[in-house]
Amino acid sequence: MSKDEEGFHSPTGSDNEDEETNAPPAKAYEYHGNLNSAGEVQSYADVRGEWEQRKISLFGAVRSFIGQLKVGQDMTRVSLPCVFLRPYSLLEEVASRNFSHFPILFDAPKTTDPLLRMLLVIKWLITTAKQEHYNHKPFNPVAGEVNRCYFTHAKDDTTFFLVEQVKHHPPTCGIRIDNPAHKIAVQGNYTFQVQFNKNSVSIANNGKVNIKIGDENYFMAKAMPDINVKNVILGTKLVAWEGKLSLDCKESGYYAECELYVKDRTNLVKGKIIHKATSEEPVAFIEGKCGGLTHWFYNVKHPNHKDKSKDEKKKLEKGTILVEDNPEDKEKPITPKYPKSQEPNSSINTWSKVAKCIIENDMEKGDAEKVVIEEKQRGTLGGLKDKGEEFVPVWFEQDDTLGWRIKDEKWYKRFEY
């Protein structure tokens, strides 16, 4: 059996990380949708196409649909027509966003200064909050949907990614990223609530995430900032990341807080880093643009610098580039790799027919295919409810601190890549 034909294994079974699971592999579906020139499976989240810029006409069926929406309505409970959608699942978007500049974290284990380690984590987070456009939105994942991918950076250096839709309402996905070579593990969950507000849509992003690098843990009480889409019907559309994020590293004593906001139609970020054991006075400040040019500065008022000369303080105040302007121009973003053999419930397999219809601009057929998927989910969840049972995710379990965590810390060893 080839590596790509190995397929999917249940995470239940032996606790021995080197022992093969006894569970039989699920049926592996060969994917025949979006392949690149090398014949490899790709997610449309990593492909640019004319469908991204298609205009949505506010006449006919679209106008009728919008007219049915109520102010304050929970959009995650509304089945959107394909004309509003991108040809991929939100789980694919999560993978693409987290993977693109993940190697930024690889320098952290080699960095001796804990302040600079904190700044590297912040740098990675800022690059994931790039400027958005949102002419269309991804598919809402169905319960149990899984997206699994990877990227091999060098020999014995691979980043493994797994995300599973653990709850349908409110939409919640468990996430896990591992790079054993650099001793990095990211896990937690994202929870989304989307609200219609007449001429705007607000996306409240919640959940919690822990970023483990070596022996240090960087805890985020809010997994990602909120998104506000303004002027969705009338006016010039503006998509902005907004709200506060915090990073708490108890091992080093450093705590960071960043705020994302809009000024003059530009999405900006500012923040501060504090070393709790030393002083409540910030050690450093951060200023810049979401996903773009961002600097960090030493705070010369901090007690660490009280004995420094004016010239020394001036040098500290000059600032250092944390994120380059247009970082994609400086370093090509990573595109995750997908095995040809996909689980039946993988994002790519689940939505392949609907995605094909959107790419071909056959929205009527796409809507029909989408209904089939949604009705199947309603039947599955309804059947469980009738029996007094709840949906149980395969890969993740509930956790008091993070909300959700991976069941098997060595989950990636159950696959071949």
The answer, as to whether pTM is greater than 0.85, is: yes
Q: What is the pairing mode between strands 85-89 and 137-139? A: parallel
Cβ–Cβ under 8 Å, residues 166 and 404: yes
For 115-156, list the strands marked E by DSSP: 137-139, 146-154
Residues 6+ apart with CB under 8 A from 251: 215, 216, 217
**Cα 170 to Cα 166: distance, rounded to the nearest angstrom:** 10
pLDDT mean over 220-228: 91
Distance from C-alpha of 271 to C-alpha of 103, rounded to nearest angstrom? 23
Task: Give residue 328's pLDDT band: very low, low, confident or very high (50, 70, 90).
Answer: low
Q: Which residue do the tokens 């979006």 mark?
A: 34
Residue 26 has pLDDT above 50, yes or no: no
- Closest to 405 measured CA to CA, from 208, 219, 215: 208
Residue 343 sits at the vertex; the CA angle it makes with 337 and 344, to the nearest 5 degrees, is 135
Give the span between the Cα atoms of 188 and 205, in whole angstroms.
Answer: 13
Q: What is the DSSP string of 303-351?
A: GGGTTS-HHHHHHHHT-EEEE-SSHHHHSPPP--BB-SEE-TTBHHHHT
Determine the average pLDDT of the residues in 375-391: 87
CA 99, 126, 223, 167 torsion-angle sign: negative
pLDDT of residue 343: 84
Q: From CA 65, how far away is CA 71, in angstroms rounded? A: 13
Instruction: Look at 280-284, 313-317, 351-355 and tell me which has the smallest mean pLDDT.
Output: 313-317
pLDDT confidence bin for 20, thresholds 50/70/90: very low
For residue 278, pLDDT beyond 80 = yes
